[in-house]
Structure 1
Amino acid sequence: MIARLLKYWMPRTFYGRSTLILLVPVTVIMAVVTVVFVQRLYEGVTEQMTVAVAHEIELILGRIDIDAPDTDRAFDAAFEVAKPLGIGISPGAVRPVTRRDWFDLSGRTVIATLDREIEQLLGVDLVGIHGFARLSVGTGAGPVELIVSRRRLNARNPHQFLVLIGFTALLMSVIALLYMRNQIRPIRRLARAAEAFGKGRVVPYEPGGATEVRLAGKAFLDMRGRIERQIEQRTLMLSGVSHDLRTPLTRMKLGLSLMDDSSETKAMRRDVHDMEGMLETFLSFAKGDALEAPEQTDPLEFVRKLTNRVARGEQVVLGTLEGEGRAMLRRAALQRALENLIVNAVRYGGQARVSARVANDRIRFVVEDTGPGIPEDLRDYVLKPFIRLDSARNQDGGSGVGLGLSIAADVARQHGGTLLLGESGDLGGLKAEISIPR
C-alpha cells in the first residue's frame, strides 16, 4: 500500500525525482538543525542568562529585606545595588500580570525560569515596555517593580543563525539544481532523438554530458546508423529484385497478348495479373516507404481527400472527423496503409466507413466494415505477414496474399504508433484503428 502511494505521488520525470532526492535531505537537515538550535542552544542560553539575572534580583531583594523596617533605607540600599547592574526598581503597589507575545518563543523560557528562581515573584510582563521585562515582586517592605532589559534575559537576534543557514542551504540547492539540469539536458536530447527515430524521423544528435551518457549516445548513433544502412541495403536489393521479376512478367504479358483469345490464354493472363499484384504488394511491404521523409500534414483533410478518391470505385463512406491540427506524417506510407484497410474492409464486408480524430496527444484513423470480423483471440495473429483467415473472412470478393494488415501495422510502427483491431459498435464488423502519437 505504501509503495503504491509513493509510486503515485513520485514525480514522473528524472529531473523531478532528482530534485526530490536533493531537496528532501536538505529539508530534513534544516529541520533537525532548527530543532537542535531552538531546544538546546537557544533555550539553554536563554535559561542561563535568566538564572544570572534572577540571582542579581535575589541580591537586590535581600538588601530590601535586611533593612525592611526602614523603608527608605531599604530602597536606598537596593538602588545602590541595582544601579550598577542596570536594573530599574520602583516601590509601590503594582498590579501583578504575566504575559508575552505568542511569537515570543524565548519569553516562555524566561517566565518559567524566573518563576522557578524567585520565590517572591508575582508576575512577569514582557509586553508592556518594548525591549524590557517588568517584574512584580513582593518584599518585606511591600511590592516593588523591577525593569530588566530583555538583552540580559535571552540572546537577541537568534534568527540570524537560522536565516544564514537557510539562505546557504537555498543557495546551494539552487546551484545544485542548475548543475543537475545541465547534466540531465544531454539525457533529454538522447531521449528526443530516440523518440523521433522510433517515429521514423532522424534528428541531429551529438553525444554530450557525463561519460555514461556519452557512451549511451554513441551506442544509439551506432545502432541508428546500422538500422539506416540495413534499410538502405534492403531497399536497393528489393529494387533489383523488382526489376528482375518485372522483366520476365513483361515478356509473358507480351507473349500472351500475341496469342489468340482462348480460355487457357485468359486464365494465364489472370495469373500474370495476380502475380503482378502479389509482387507489388510484397515489395510495398518489404520496402515500407523507409526512405520517405515525414512532412507537416492535416490529418482530417488527408482522410477526407483519400476517402473521396477511393469512394469513386468502392463502397466507402466518410465517417466522423473530430479535432484540428497538423502533424508530421509519412503521407505515402499512411495512404498505402489506409488504402489496404479500406480494400480489406470492402472485400470482406462489402462496405467501409473511414473516420479520424485528432486529439492533443494522439491521432486516430479508424476503418470499419460490415463483415464477419475477426475473432478476438486471432487479432494479434493476423498482423503477421502472409496470414489469411480463410474460415473467418469471405474471399469471394477477391484474393490477397495476407499482407494488408501487416503493411498497416508496419506503417503505424514507423510513426511510433500501433494498429488496433476490434469490433465495430454499430456496423458489427471489423474495426481497424491506427493510433499515432502527435
Structure 2
Amino acid sequence: MFDWLKHFLPKGLYGRAALILILPILTIQLVVSVLFVQRYFTDVTQQMSRNMMPELRMIETELRGAASAEAGFAAAASRASGLGLVLTRQAEAQTGDGRAFYDFSGRVVIRTLREAFESLKGVDLSDLRTVRLSFESPHGPYQLQFSRNRVTARNPHQLLVYMLATGALMTLVAFVFLRNQLRPIRRLAAAAEAFGKGRTVPYRIAGASEVRAAGAAFLDMRARIERQMEQRTQMLSGVSHDLRTPLTRLKLGLAMLGDGEEVEALERDVEDMRRMLDGFLAFARTDALEGDAEEVDPAEIARRAVDDAHRMGRHVIFQGAAGEGVALWRAGAVRRALDNLISNAVTYGGIAEVSVAILERSVRFTVEDDGPGIPEDKREEALKPFVRLVPGRNQDQGSGVGLGLAITADIARSHGGSLRLGESERLGGLKAELILAR
C-alpha cells in the first residue's frame, strides 16, 4: 500500500535513523505550535479584548449622553486621556477592517470588538503597534486609538522561538550521539564488505552490546573462513606434492618400457593425472589469492591478456574499453580469471573478442566466442568445480579438468562480483561477463 513511499525514504542507516529522530521532533513542535496558537493567541487575546470593553463603553456613553457635540467630545476626550486612549473627531467614519495576513490575533480582536459594539464601523490593525477604532455617534463619527499591547499579549512569539531553539539544540545533540552510535555499525559494514572483496582490514569491536556481539561474530566467522581456506590450500598442495613423486616414477618407468600403443595410452593417463593435480592446486589457490590488493588499470589488464594470447598464436581481438579509472584488486588473480575465460573461448571457438566497461562502482570484462556455447539450462552447472559438460562444450576438446570457469567464478566472488554466462549476439557462441567491484 505504501510501496511508493519507499522511493522517497533514505537508503542508508544514518539517513533513516536521522529521519526517525527528526520526524517526531517536528511533529511535536507542529502540534504544540497549533495548540499554542489556538489556546494562547485565541483565548488570551479574546480575554484582553473584553477587558477593554468597559473603557470603550464609557467613552461611548459619555458622547451619547452629552447635550451638544462640543461638550460631549470635550468630556469624552478628557476621560479617554485618563484611560490611556486617544480620541479624535472624524469628518467621515472609516468603514472596513484592516490587518496583516499573518496577524492571527488581529482576527480575534476584530471579531470580539464587533460582537460587543454595534456602532463600531471599522477596526484598523495595519500598524501592529496601534489599534484604531472608528465609531458612529449621534454627534458624528470619532476614532479611538490605543496601544496594541492592551488587547494582545506582549511578545507572544517568545515561546515559539524558545521551542524552536531548544528543538534545534536537542536535535544537534542527538545527531552527535547518533553518529557515535552508528560509527561502529558502519565500520563493521566496511570490514564485511572488504572481506567479501578479498581484503582483510583491521576491525576493533566497539559500540553497543548488540553491535559488539555482531562484531565478535563477524571476527569469529572471518577467522574460521580464513582457517578453512588455508587448510584447504595446504591439503591440496600437500596431496599434489606427494602425488608428483609417484607420477614421476611412473613416467620414467613407462619411458623405459619403450614404444607401443599400451605404453602411449598409459603415458596419456599419467599426463591427465598431472593436469588434474595442477588443476586441483590452482583451484585451491583461488581462496588464497596471491599478493595484496593494489590499484590497477582494468583496461591495461585486459590489453596485456590479449597481447599474451596473441604471442601464443591465439585469435583474440580487443574491442577496447568504455570508461576509465582504476580499481583496487589483486592483479594476479584478476589476470588469471581473464586468462581462463580467453583460453576457454579460443579452445571451444575459433575467434574470441574481449571488451571492458568501467562503471562507477564496478568493472565488466566481456569475453565472447564463436563456439557452440553452453545451453541455458547448463550454465549454472558449468560454474561448479570438476564439471565437464557434454556435448556442447565437450571438455575432451581441451586439456582442462572442469575447473576453469569455477576458478574464475571464485575469483569474481572474492572481489565482490560474479561471473555470468550468456549467448553472444554478435558471434553466436558463449558470452562470459566477469563483473568485479571497484
* Same fold, judged at TM 0.5 (above): yes
Cross-structure match for 1:20: 19
Cross-structure match for 2:77: 79
For residues 340-365 of structure 1, the C-alpha deviation after alignment (integer angstroms, 9 at most, x for no partner) is 22222122122222221111111111
| Conservation of the 8 A alpha-carbon contact between 1:347 and 1:395 | no
Q: How does 1:14-413 map to 2 (within 5 A)?
A: 14-67=13-66, 69-97=67-95, 98-127=97-126, 131-292=129-290, 293-313=292-312, 314-395=314-395, 397-413=397-413
Cross-structure match for 2:430: 430
* Cα distance between partner residues in 1 of 2:394 and 2:318: 24
The aligned amino acid for 1:79 is A
For residues 291-337 of structure 1, the C-alpha deviation after alignment (integer angstroms, 9 at most, x for no partner) is 52222211110111111112222222222322211112222222222
- Which consecutive aligned stretches of 4+ in structure 1 deviate over 6 angstroms post-superposition? none
* Cα distance between partner residues in 2 of 1:404 and 1:256: 30
* Cα distance between partner residues in 1 of 2:259 and 2:317: 39
Cα distance change on mapping 1:130 and 1:345 into 2, 3 Å: closer
The aligned amino acid for 2:68 is D
Cα displacement (A) at 1:19:
1.0
Q: TM-score, normalising length from structure 2? A: 0.95
For residues 79-135 of structure 1, the C-alpha deviation after alignment (integer angstroms, 9 at most, x for no partner) is 3432221011123424414212222222222112111111111111222x5621111
* Cα distance between partner residues in 2 of 1:391 and 1:71: 121
| Conservation of the 8 A alpha-carbon contact between 2:289 and 2:330 | no
Cα displacement (A) at 1:289:
5.0
Cα displacement (A) at 1:255:
2.7
For residues 240-276 of structure 1, the C-alpha deviation after alignment (integer angstroms, 9 at most, x for no partner) is 1121011111222233334423333333332222221
* Cα distance between partner residues in 2 of 1:259 and 1:317: 46
Identity of aligned residues (%): 52
Cross-structure match for 2:5: 6
* Cα distance between partner residues in 1 of 2:90 and 2:178: 68
Cα displacement (A) at 1:221:
0.7
Is the partner of 1:400 in helix, strand or coil? Answer: coil
Please give the root-mean-square deviation of Cα atoms over the aligned residues, in Å.
1.7
The aligned amino acid for 1:126 is L
| Conservation of the 8 A alpha-carbon contact between 2:120 and 2:135 | yes
* Cα distance between partner residues in 2 of 1:402 and 1:81: 111
| Conservation of the 8 A alpha-carbon contact between 1:122 and 1:137 | yes
Q: Which runs of 5+ in 1 are unaligned?
A: none
| Conservation of the 8 A alpha-carbon contact between 1:197 and 1:203 | yes
Of 106-115 and 29-38, deviating more is: 106-115
Is the partner of 1:143 in helix, strand or coil? Answer: strand
Cα distance change on mapping 1:396 and 1:384 into 2, 3 Å: closer
Is the partner of 1:90 in helix, strand or coil? Answer: strand
* Cα distance between partner residues in 1 of 2:124 and 2:2: 52
Cross-structure match for 1:421: 421
* Cα distance between partner residues in 1 of 2:9 and 2:101: 37
For residues 140-161 of structure 1, the C-alpha deviation after alignment (integer angstroms, 9 at most, x for no partner) is 2221111111111111221111
* Cα distance between partner residues in 1 of 2:395 and 2:202: 47
| Conservation of the 8 A alpha-carbon contact between 2:86 and 2:146 | yes
Cα distance change on mapping 1:119 and 1:348 into 2, 3 Å: same
| Conservation of the 8 A alpha-carbon contact between 1:183 and 1:209 | yes
Cα displacement (A) at 1:174:
1.3
| Conservation of the 8 A alpha-carbon contact between 2:275 and 2:401 | no
